[in-house]
Amino acid sequence: MNEILNKKGFISDMDGVIYHGNRILDGVADFVKWLQDNDKEFVFLTNSSERTPHELSMKLARMGLDVDADHFYTSAMATAEFLSTQKPNCTAYVIGEAALTKALYDHKIYMNDVNPDYVVVGETRTYSFEKLEKAINLVRAGAKLIGTNPDITGPTEKGIMPATGALIAPIEIATGKKAYFVGKPNPLMLRHGLKKINCHSEEIAFIGDRMDTDIIAGIESNVDTVLVLSGVTSLEDIDLFPYRPKYIFKGIWELLK
């Protein structure tokens, strides 16, 4: 246990680790206070591309946690950073929310619905046949297909909603082109997180609640992995996978015991 607490930094998933919907999970307030009091480097990662870091900071504030926007990193930000290194000043046709568009703008990637370099898809509640048809034609014309994350579904206050993997599937089927997904389990996002907090892989622990996205991303990034059972994974589920986390806790509250 001391080995974890002596780490220089922590990278943590959010939904299922920090909160469920609009409810902070047990022990999270104490954990965040411990991070801040001990000058730990930390960042919260989310595969969702719907909210900006400022909006995520406000969400936690409504639940009683004071965490600055600098401590958040989203798949929208990772996607924008990836595209800007692949092709600086490129253009994109985007199916997604304003947070995704803003992240792209921040990296000088501008909107283009005529002959874009990329078609970028993230979570959205304004999906339509018209947008789908446009995206298919642009990919067929040569635009590269990018997904912010491969998640098929995502939890909301109203229940389960289709996520990026489900929204992008019709484009893949209609064009015969496979999307490249930037978010977890792609270790690229976790490596961006390491860069953000200026830590090396051996200096941090990565906390997540999913074996198929969080833990595999941590293993492939060569960081110590912590699985919490407060999200979607049960103790029995772990044996279904050919890899294991380094540490297993019922929830984040056990980390400080």
Q: What is the pLDDT of residues 33-90, one digit of tens each?
A: 999 999 999 999 999 999 999 999 999 999 999 999 999 999 999 999 999 999 999 9
Three-state DSSP class for residue 143: coil
Q: Which amino acid is at 170?
A: P
CA distances from 235 to 17, 179, 215, 230, 247 (A): 15, 32, 14, 11, 12
How many residues are listed for the chain in this entry? 257
Predicted confidence (pLDDT) per residue in 134-177, tens digit: 999 999 999 999 999 999 987 666 767 899 999 999 999 999 99
Q: In 3-state terms, what secondary structure has residue 32?
A: helix
pLDDT at 222 over 90: yes
Other CB atoms within 10 A of residue 86 CB = 13
Query: Do 229 and 248 touch, CB atoms closer than 8 A?
Result: yes
Report, as an integer, the average pLDDT of 120-141.
97
What is the residue-averaged pLDDT of the chain? 94
CB-CB contact of 175 with 140 (8 Å): yes
Closest to 106 measured CA to CA, from 79, 71, 67: 79
Phi, psi of 11 (to 5 degrees): -120, 130
Whole-model pTM: value is 0.93
The vertex-233 CA angle with 226 and 253, nearest 5°, equals 50
pLDDT score of 143 = 98
pLDDT per residue as tens digits for the range 93-121? 999 999 999 999 999 999 999 999 999 99
pLDDT at 1 over 60: no
Kindly list the catalytic residues: 13, 15
In 3D space, the residue among 66, 61, 65, 74 whose CA is nearest the CA of residue 148 turns out to be 74
pLDDT value at residue 156: 64
Instruction: Identify the band that residue 22 occupies on the pLDDT scale cut at 50, 70 and 90.
Output: confident
- 207-230: average pLDDT: 95
For 196-206, the pLDDT digits (tens) are: 999 999 999 99
Instruction: Please give the backbone phi and psi of residue 123, each rounded to the nearest 5 degrees, phi first.
Output: -60, 140
